[in-house]
Structure 1
């Protein structure tokens, strides 16, 4: 009995098989593929468009075809994810476009975008399918956001620091970052001190900034000026593509000049006298100065009988130069004479300076000068005259006696 039942079922299945195959051959069967997506590759934080092609590869009409976008990280859409295609004839196709956003923190590489589709969700199976979309930052870039040197200008032999703030200008994470301060040129009078010129950073997220500090020293023989120094940055994106960029920063050798001034009379000045004075400008600093001009500003105690301004020119470090002026001191003045003097000059880096000094010199009255032995006193002059007359008289008498003897 059991054997008979089994044989009956088997024969029934064999008889129905042609009908099942015929039904399968004539049913609606959908297939979905990606025609293209733009831009390629996609970028974190940006939108892209994707076109899906839906084909009816079956033998009957799809009466209620549906395509549904399943937006999983890192993809999302502002569009309606469900597209009701409706009727799709056999061997016919249609194209559906979605606008999709890539998350800001998307990982670079290949990510899946998922869809489901069915010829009729109520009567047909629902099929799931995934497609790979490439995510990559096209503008992978790390730039120097700010530069600071301490001090602003290096004196020869001075130790300082160069501080760089670098920023990941891309939206995605970058890795294996190396920042090199290139001091290898013989024309660059700087050297690293206590630190390497290479700095490494493991990763930087999109928009992240990092601070890097280099300790440097200006060589003792450094000449004032502005020196261009390359900074080379190498890095990789998460896919492993390597990038290199080079930027130029400036390091300055210079500083504030240091000068001393004094005044030196070329003769002893008495009340009411006239004479020359030298204004000495001493460059005691480590940097040269140029375009030096000295100007004397007269006051009520003296008159200026020469030009009030004298151009000197350049004065090297550890050197000096002078400007000469002719003064007439008022007859009623004696004591410490103040000569207001203005010195204008530029540093080697063309930074302008102007300093006013009250230079001091001594003016003596006649009595003070006599008491100090700077000039001969009146009694001494009389004695000298008498001595000269006596000597002259004795010489005269001696010559006269000599003539009488000869006669």
Structure 2
């Protein structure tokens, strides 16, 4: 009876196992493409009561799988509204990993709205038929008292990028120096007197598909008096697959009032060139020992630091084991020499030679492998002709000596 129950329960057991497996797999697939929504810019900021505000919403794929058919729905709530005919649902389509799309909406702020932080809702799905996710995003609504009559003008005085040229996969910093260009503490316009302070309400650095900004925007950094300046620093990261060239970030500053907002283009250079190694002597080892020589060249536009070269070949020892150069300016050349010695009897006539170049670009450690070189091993056999010649000379000397002694004895007789 027990065996009958056992076989009768087998189909049910298989069904349960299959069901559990399917349930465990489905969430993984669905959550692989993870989306995130953010407001990246409002113009004006704060939004004016009774006026329109342009809102840019960024939809970013932060998952590990491509989103096949992204759709986004904006759900405005009081005091915001969309004009009749404006699409609340928009289709983006395919959104690859670590990529984003920006959507612009024109919202009206109700004339009876009260100042403060107000919210809108954004829903999105990564593919048709999948579940919608919802986020609440905040927009600052201001009144007349939230704008200032200060007439100071903000100038972008300096951009410092470190390292100056980034390589794919690098992290770096971008520092902005903002200055209030006013030279006096007040000015008169139209019979009224205004102070010349400058206010920075917010400062945001926007990335690209190849460069991600890792720092949050700055908010309410304070007041700059005439001639004062402030430095704002952001961390950035270059994608491993970024191509060489100049990438353009966007620096957005919201100032004292609606007419004192700024937007600057920020060029960032990406260059994958690094250390180049050139053999300057034949890569040949005669009778087990040789001295090999290489020219080391920095082909990157940056100064590279902690540069070192290390050769490797099976059955061969090198001295020094590693050649440390240190800092190298762009296009600078160093010559490195290594003594090579064969330490193995089981070695071929052509031995693969690998050169490992290590260096730093800013704080970023890099390692380059050059493995398209080979060492020629030459072993010369002793010359047997020399030995025969020596033996022949000895025989001749012996014969001559014998003849001389024979004649000398005969003469005595």
| TM-score computed with the length of structure 2 as normaliser | 0.33
| TM-score computed with the length of structure 1 as normaliser | 0.33
Greater C-alpha Rg: 1
